[in-house]
Amino acid sequence: MPSLTHDEALSRAALVAVEAMEVDLDLDRGPEVFGSRTTITFTCRRPGESTVVDLRPQALHSVRLNGRELQDVLVDGRLRLADLAADNVLEVEATMSYGHDGQGLHRSSDPADGEDYVYGHLFLDAAPRVFACFDQPDLKAPYTVGVRAPEHWSVLGNGGATQVAPGRWELARTAPLATYFVTVCAGPWASVTAEHDGVPLGIHARRSLERPLREQAEHMLATTRTCLDHYHRLFGIRYPFGEYHQVFVPEFNAGAMENPGCVTFRDAYVFRGAASPDQVLERDNTIAHEMAHMWFGDLVTMRWWDDLWLNESFAEYMAYRTSAEALGAPQSWVSFGIVRKLWGYAAERAPSTHPVAGSPAPDALSALQNFDGISYAKGASVLRQLIAHIGDEAFLAGVRDYLRGHAYGNGELAEFLAAMAAAAGEDLGPWAGAWLRTAGADRLELTRTGTLTRRTPEEHPADRPHTLDVAAFDHGREALREDVVLTGERAEVPGVAGLPEGALVVPNAGDLTWAEVALDPGTVAALVDGLADVPDPVARTVVWTSLLGGMHRGEVDPRVVVDVLESAWPREDDAAVLSRVALVVTGTVVPLFLPPAEQAEAMERVAHAADALGQRARGASGPAARAWGLLAARVGARALRDEARLHRWAAGADLPPELAGDDDFRWLVLRRLAALDALEEAELEAAQEADRSLAGRLAALGVRAARPTPQAKEWAWSTLAKDPELSNYGALEVARGFWVAEDPAVVRPYVGRVGDLLARLEPRMGEDALSRVATALHPKWLVEPATLAASSELLAREDLSPGVHRALLDEDHVLREVLESRRRFG
């Protein structure tokens, strides 16, 4: 079915205005279909003309326009409406199919108790899979929703829900919403409710997660209260959508979705076992991110998808700012640097890089490709540069003016910049052209004589001013800190030339700007002995992102990364750095960038580093020591080759106290045993029997796929290709385990078959879910010239969607980086 184009959206918005949406859903028709009745009240500016309404039903029962029954009007997912009146009422009744790919109205069964759960994820263009609508962000309307559900279910949605009869719920009329924000969440939820400052609050999850939900709900509610108060102060506008529910739902493709009044989160955020501080911080940050959207995105919505940065960049920046300012977590900027910016720089290096703002979105589906590290991490960094340029007072004044001027409507880049320029008292056009409308990351390099240079990508020329600092560290002390405003190609930084030879010199040490930092050779040489002693965690983060980025660019030998990890990582204090660096080294540096003959030894060195961190934890006390012990065990479970120790861990022996009875950790250990071909079928079956949860069922799929035997790979491939019951999460788990094999001969026969499998999956999976599977299924793990040839053939196919092609293109780029690194460093 064709995706709505921007030109079509402009024409439709010029013709019609939606006054009201009434939606009635019958969720009590079994596990495969639901009933949908929609009444759309809308006006037409030029009576007599025609338009289309979006709908993708399993069966269409009736269409009535202004009391007139219409026949044969559904074509390619659109109802064609002719001879419109000035005032119109469209009534549509249809039977719809539940989704099992995380889009539309997704239905999932929890094997822990056999209960089913339904949630709506109508982003990006999935609303027509639930009800008839004008599916574009600038045709907002108030919604009145009714729901029939099994009598033991409860129902949540954008408006406050009231049970009016057994199995019958009515949701309060909403403020004007874009179609992609509408949601209904139904099932036998476990719930914790509260109220703050007149706003009813709720935290909800599957019934089988009730115990951890209740244990963790007060922390989440405290975070919610603090964020709500903080945003009221910052924006000067009260929360505008009535009740505020946060629902942790199964098999969710993203981290969360900012549905007004009813935010949905992936339910992995309700921790079944031990949670490290960075995991808790990530959840707090996600709560803050989605709440920021209530103003930027929900109250004021982008007019079209080419301005999605107005939603995501703002929420990304505001979440980290709020975590640092209001939640008492200054380390959130460390997490931003090592997690989000690492993701964003990778997206910037890829051939699919694009500007932060105004990236072409000719149709709705193509916009999905730009929900990446550029729209999030780079966009947030650009906002930090804007604040450095105009000041925080002017920035907040511009934000308030923009929100007040477009409340309950739509906005776009020019209007946002106009508000900022008025508050700052200066023309921001040149600044926006360089930072927002031009792709690419500048490269910053500082010589030991003190010359800071800026090199702009040749393919994306721009004159970007950088506000940053330069710091140097020597024997565990800060030896230099200089603020710099770089407005040309070079600037002299005083004090650098006089630094000791072994000092570590770090441009952009405060991580304020967006630029690839190239460390000088003397600093790289000093990292093994000196990085752990750098007292500034943000500067350490900048060093790690620079080191890893340099490896991808073919400038840093991957062995240096392993050397630095072995020496500095066990002495790191920040949980986010510990977690992310180890994940990148075990998941990318060793299995991809190092030659196969060196990988086993490198993993042993990582395991030794994990043991060193564990020993450090045992010699300390308090929350930090508990976090070190937890992270040490998790990294050891990914890196160890000691099968006896892994089997003891799987049996629950010799574990840190925090991991006693932790099912998720046991699955991590079992996956490592499977990869080593050291897992017996009886042991796997016993684990499945002990953990009959949805998470356990999914983990078992990944463990089976990771076994390095021809039989296991054939099972995994066949499951992906032929199992119609496989959900989006199930497919992703199998795909992530598939290429695990120390002997490449086991998986080499499948390299040329990836395209056919993806084409087969496309009819039953939405583009969002399938793009994630395509990323995992790309055969880059076999670093061979033949794989590159197969990847090129994959990209030449014409039967794969744009989103899948984009995912494969980015993975092809990684393969090329790895091949070049191996050629250069042998």
Neighbours of 315 (CB within 10 A): 25
Q: Which residues pair with 156 in a beta bridge?
A: 185
Q: What is the per-residue burial (b if ≥16 Cβ within 10 Å, else e) of 161-177?
A: beeeeebebbbbbbbbb
pLDDT score of 367 more than 80: no
Structure tokens of 595?
């030659």
- For 43-60, what is each residue's pLDDT tens digit? 999 999 999 999 999 999
Q: Span 257-273, mean pLDDT? A: 97
Note if the pTM is more than 0.85: yes
Query: In sequence order, what are the beta bridge partners of 141?
Result: 177
The pLDDT of 546-565, averaged and rounded, is 98
Q: Each residue of 378-390: pLDDT tens digit?
A: 999 999 999 999 9
Range of weakest confidence among 45-49, 306-310, 365-369, 638-642? 365-369
For the chain, counts of helices (H) and of strands (E): 28, 29
pLDDT at 658: 86
The pLDDT, as a whole number, for residue 371 is 78
Report the C-alpha gap between 590 and 593 in whole angstroms.
Answer: 6
pLDDT in tens, 393-426: 999 999 999 999 999 999 999 999 999 999 999 9
CATH 3.40.50.2300 fits 301-435, yes or no: no
The answer to whether 162 and 154 are in contact (CB under 8 A) is no
Domain ranges, ordered by start, for the chain = 6-188, 301-435, 708-826
Contact 462, 452 (CB under 8 A): no
Spatial distance between the Cα atoms of 665 and 630, rounded to a whole number of angstroms: 10
Annotated catalytic residue 290: yes
Residues 6+ apart with CB under 8 A from 711: none
pLDDT tens-digit series, residues 663-713: 999 999 999 999 999 999 999 999 999 999 999 999 999 999 999 999 999
455 pLDDT tier (thresholds 50, 70, 90): very high
What mean pLDDT is predicted for residues 423-433? 95
* Predicted confidence (pLDDT) per residue in 766-782, tens digit: 888 999 999 999 999 99
How far is the C-alpha of 330 from the C-alpha of 537, rounded, in Å? 10
* Token pair in block for residue 597: 């003959």
Say yes or no to pLDDT of 363 above 90.
no
Residue 359: its pLDDT value, please?
A: 77
The mean pLDDT of the chain is 96
Asked if 6-188 and 301-435 have one fold, the answer is no
What is the second-level CATH architecture of the domain 6-188? Sandwich (2.60)
For residue 124, is the peptide bond before it cis, meaning its omega torsion is within 30 degrees of 0? yes
Question: Of 251, 258, 290, 348, which residue is the catalytic one?
Answer: 290
What gap in Å lies between CA 163 and CA 140, rounded to an integer? Answer: 26
pLDDT tens string 82-91: 999 999 999 9
Residue 211 has pLDDT above 80, yes or no: yes
Rg (CA), the chain: 27
Percent of the chain with pLDDT over 90: 95
**Is the per-residue pLDDT at 369 higher than 90?**
no
pLDDT band at residue 278, thresholds of 50, 70 and 90? very high
Q: State the pLDDT confidence band at 1, using cuts at 50, 70 and 90.
A: low
What is the average pLDDT across 628-642?
Answer: 97
Q: pLDDT tens for residues 148-194?
A: 999 999 999 999 999 999 999 999 999 999 999 999 999 999 999 99
- Sheet holding 68-69: strands in order across? 68-69, 59-65, 87-97, 33-44, 16-26, 143-148, 168-171, 161-165
Residue 320 CB-half CA count within 13 A: 24
Range 113-127 average pLDDT: 95
Q: Using CA atoms, how far apart are residues 702 and 738, in angstroms rounded to an integer?
A: 8
* CA separation for the pair 46, 17 (Å, rounded): 11
